[in-house]
Every structure is written in structure tokens, then in C-alpha cells.
Amino acid sequence: MKIGFYPGCSLTGSSREYNESLLAVAKVAGIELCEISDWNCCGSTAAHNLNRELSVSLPARNLALAELEEMDELVVPCAACYNRLVMTQHELAEKPEIKALIEGKLKMTLRNDIRILNVLQFLEKHIVPRLDELVKSPLTYDVACYYGCLLVRPNQVMKDERFEDPMTMDLIMQKLGANAIDWPFKTECCGAGFSVSKTEIVGELSGKIVRSAVDRGAKAIVVACPMCHFNLDMRRPVIESYLQRKIDIPVIYITQAIALAMGLSAQQAGTQRHFVPVNLTVNR
């Protein structure tokens, strides 16, 4: 089986450590992730707000390329990319007339049968069953798993019963030895794109998330979305000015947590790249 890989823009820029840690984990597990050659933008926020046709044809081209390279599965770590690709696949399957239109524009045909996996689905399927052998230095601290909005939505496509209170990351973290705390902000909004236009809103929304995690005793926040990471980590000064207090809780990607638990170095996990220093040697 060939597992494809669609990094998207974030993983080549602001969240390089997400990319590095995912590939490092896959390498330890002996899984080859084949990057789609000549991939393009997923469409993300801009396209689906402004041009519906473009918002489908951009992801559709990536899917068509993956099919050309005969990929059976496609791993899409960025939550926004994943959402666009999955929604496109859903729309192409539901609406044959749109599929025909897009295929004409792209001059490519689509079987539309590739299994698109977000990072949690990929981990659950390929890594979690082997964690017992792969975990070398179990994590020993309390963590708050933060899912954000896109990983579990939309419900019509994801069919997740617990989309208001998801548990997949919590269960993975528990397998790594960490204690996933029960907290109410798992799917609260981080402020997302306001990071650029109205940063103070991110300060408030992300601030409440971070405060809740800290006050409930978490030593780290675990995420699986570059946008969430961006707001909780890089926007920490804005958060601190909203909360009027200094907060040093680090924000790590779930792939980084797995890499650390596998015994890989901080360098291999990419934790040195964060704005908020990752210092997780303190045991519970």
C-alpha cells in the first residue's frame, strides 16, 4: 500500500517542526510517506469564501495528482488542508455535475476513492497499534489535548459522535504515558485567522484556552493543527497581555509528543523551533 503525503503551506513554513516530527515518527515506524509531487494550495480560507469553484478545483487537483501516483491513502496533517480535501472529496462524490465541471477544468479525471487521513486518523491506524514497542521513554506529565474546530468537523462528513468532546488525542496521549486532563476547552475557537487582522481577539480566545489548561494543572498543551499552534504559541505575548499574567506552558504537536516518547532528541522532534520554550523534563 502506498501512503501519500500532502504537507500544505504551513508545514513548509511556520510549522516546519510538525513536518519534521511527523516524518521522524513515520521513519522510526518504518512507514514511507510519499509527498505528492507538484502539489498546490489547498484553497483554505480564502478560496472557499470567495470562489466556490476554485475552492473545489484546487484540492481536486491535489487529489487527482495523488491518484496519478497511485496512492491508496493520503496523509494531510494540517487541519485546514484536511478539511478542504475531505470536503472536496465529499462534494465530488455527492454532486456528479460539479465533478464533471471540475474534471473538465483540470483536464484530469478522478476516481475519487483515495482514503484521506488527518494526522489523528493516520496515527490511530498506523502508529498507535505499535506504540507498545515504539515508546522508549514514556511521558510523565499532565497534558491538555486541544483539538480546535476543524479536526472533528463538519459532522456530516466526519460522522464523529463526540464532535463536541472528542477523545482520540486524549487516548493516544494516555498510551504515551501522559495523563490527559479532563477540560472544557477542547474544541473552543482559538481565534484562527484573526491572528493577522484582529490579534487582540486571538489574545482573548486563545487566552481563555491557555488559562484553563494551566489552571487545571496541565504541563503542556497538545495540538494537531498549525493554526492552533500558531495562535497558542507565537501569539503568547498577546495572550499574556490579555490575561495580565505570565504563562509559560509549552504547546506541542502530537507528533512531537510521540517523537519524544519514542526517545528521539528535541532536535529530531523540532521542539527548539517554538516561541514558548519546550522544557518538559519535570515529572509529575
Partner 1 sequence: MSKIGVFICHCGENISATVDVVRVAEAAGKLEGVEFSTDYKYMCSDPGQTLIKQMIKEKGLTGVIVAACSPRMHEPTFRKACSSAGLNPYMCEMSNLREHCSWVHDKSEATTQKAIDLVRTLVGKVKYNKPLYSIKVPVTKTALVIGGGIAGIQSSLDIANAGHQVVLVEKDPSIGGHMSQLSETFPTLDCSQCILTPRMVEVAQHPNIKLLTYAELEKLEGFIGNFKATIRKKAKSIDEDLCTGCGTCITKCPTKKIPSEFNTGLGKRTAIYVPFPQAVPNKPVIDKENCLYYKNGKCKICEKVCPTGAIRFDQEDELVELEVGAVVVATGFDVMEPSKFSEYGYGKYKDVITGLQFERLASASGPTLGEIRRPSDGKIPEKIVFVACAGSRDPSKGKPYCSKICCMYTAKHAMLYQHKVHHGESTIFYMDIRSAGKNYEEFVRRAIVEDDVKYIRGRVSKVYEENGKLIVKGVDTLLNAKPVEIQADMVVLATAAVANSGAEELAQKMHISYDAYNFFSEAHPKLKPVETNTAGIFLAGACQAPKDIPETVSQASGAAAKVAILFSQDELSREPVVAVVNRSAPPLYSTCVGCFMCATACPYQAIGEELITNRKGEVIKRVAKVNPGLCQGCGTCVAFCRSKSIDIDGYSNEQMYSEVMALLND
Q: Name the minimum Å distance from CB 196 to partner 1.
A: 22
d(CA 210, CA 143): 12
Query: Is 155 one of the binding residues for partner 1 (CB under 8 A)?
Result: yes
Residue closer to partner 1, measured from CB, 57 or 212:
212
Specify burial of residue 168 (Cβ count, 10 A radius: 0-12, 13-18, 19+).
Answer: buried
Instruction: Calculate helix-pair angle for 52-68, 79-94, nearest 10 degrees.
Output: 90
Site stretch for partner 1 (CB under 8 A), options 54-62, 63-71, 110-118, 161-169: 161-169
Q: Name the minimum Å distance from CB 149 to partner 1.
A: 12
Query: Is 198 one of the binding residues for partner 1 (CB under 8 A)?
Result: no
Residue from 261, 260, 232 nearest 248 by CA? 232
Residue closer to partner 1, measured from CB, 242 or 253:
242
Q: Which of 70, 165, 200, 248 binds partner 1 (CB under 8 A)?
A: 165
Q: Which of 88, 212, 255, 271 binds partner 1 (CB under 8 A)?
A: 212
Strands (E), the chain: 3-5, 33-35, 73-75, 115-117, 142-145, 179-180, 220-223, 251-253
Q: Which of 111, 161, 197, 282 binds partner 1 (CB under 8 A)?
A: 161
Strand partners, 116: 74
Q: Which of 2, 52, 162, 284 binds partner 1 (CB under 8 A)?
A: 162
Strand partners, 185: none
Amino acid occupying residue 77: P
Residue closer to partner 1, measured from CB, 39 or 183:
183
Amino acid occupying residue 16: R
Q: Name the minimum Å distance from CB 164 to partner 1.
A: 4
Pull the grid cell for residue 242. 490579555
Site stretch for partner 1 (CB under 8 A), options 56-64, 74-82, 181-189, 223-231: 181-189
CB count, 10 Å around CB of 229?
Answer: 26
Site stretch for partner 1 (CB under 8 A), options 25-33, 95-103, 159-167, 240-248: 159-167
Strand partners, 75: 5, 117
Interacting residues with partner 1 (CB under 8 A): 155-156, 161-162, 164-165, 182-184, 188, 212, 215
